[in-house]
Amino acid sequence: EAGVAQSPRYKIIEKRQSVAFWCNPISGHATLYWYQQILGQGPKLLIQFQNNGVVDDSQLPKDRFSAERLKGVDSTLKIQPAKLEDSAVYLCASSSAFGGTDTQYFGPGTRLTVL
Amino acid sequence: DQQVKQNSPSLSVQEGRISILNCDYTNSMFDYFLWYKKYPAEGPTFLISISSIKDKNEDGRFTVFLNKSAKHLSLHIVPSQPGDSAVYFCAAWNSGTYKYIFGTGTRLKVLA
């Protein structure tokens, strides 16, 4: 079974530029999560999708971050414009169902550096 | 407001000995707890979990203990192996808010 795929693995941009990350979850997984992990901290949930609908985006900075999950499969997370404090690893995870008892499978992450 | 805390940023243990990683939480509404292990340049991988209705769950060398009155959980690894060297995150799930909250992680180093 293929795991969660993310690209790119690394990205360096200047502040005020835009960037987009892509995630392909495990086939058949209904739930998809995007997390932000700042160095020295635990992952912080930004948004979670159930199929192509948003379940929770309360911690997504909507003035600059956006995410979509077209057709309930792949997802993209965009930052526009980026700030220095957006430097972090962006993790995508998926699970077969919705709920805390269902195991999340994480991708390798995208390390973003904003200069 | 850090609802899930891992107060030890790092821990070193000799191979073969027990590793004990601790996690404290403040929200009594959490009803499910998980431990994840993370190697460098990889995403976290699920290790073990426990429901709030239990006080212990065991899976091979890994045991998680939950003390609800103290709002404390711990992960025991016995015996510890060099391959266990990684960052360990505890996470808590609130079924009322559908939110996962992760702790800040503990870096475990098992010395051969």
Residue A33: predicted pLDDT:
95
Say whether residue B4 is in contact with chain A using an 8 A CB cutoff: yes
Query: What does the pLDDT average to over B7-23?
Result: 96
The pLDDT tens digits of the residues spanning B52-93 come to: 999 999 999 999 999 999 999 999 999 999 999 999 999 999
Cross-chain residue pair A106–B45, CB shorter than 8 Å = yes
- CA atoms of B82 and B56, how far apart (whole Å): 25
pLDDT for position A1: 64
- Each residue of A23-60: pLDDT tens digit? 999 999 999 999 999 998 999 999 999 988 998 899 99
Residues B97-109 have pLDDT tens digits of 878 899 999 999 9
Between CA A65 and CA A98, with CA A42 as vertex, the angle to 5 degrees is: 70
What is the model's pLDDT at position B100? 85
pLDDT recorded at residue A98: 74
> Mean pLDDT over all residues of chain A?
93
Residue A74 DSSP one-character state: -
Asked whether the beta carbons of residue A106 and residue B4 sit closer than 8 angstroms, the reply is: no
* Per-residue confidence band for B2, with pLDDT thresholds at 50, 70 and 90: confident
Pairwise pLDDT comparison (A97 vs A114), residue with the higher score: A114
Contact B99 A104 (CB under 8 A): no
Report yes or no: B49 at the A interface, CB cutoff 8 Å: yes
pLDDT in tens, B36-56: 999 998 999 999 999 999 999
Burial A84-107 (b: 16+ CB within 10 A, else e): eebbbbbbbbbbeeeebebebbbb
Alpha carbon distance B82, B110 (integer Å) = 5
Q: A42 contacts in B (CB within 8 Å)? A: 4, 6, 89, 91, 102-105
Q: What pLDDT sits at residue B1?
A: 60
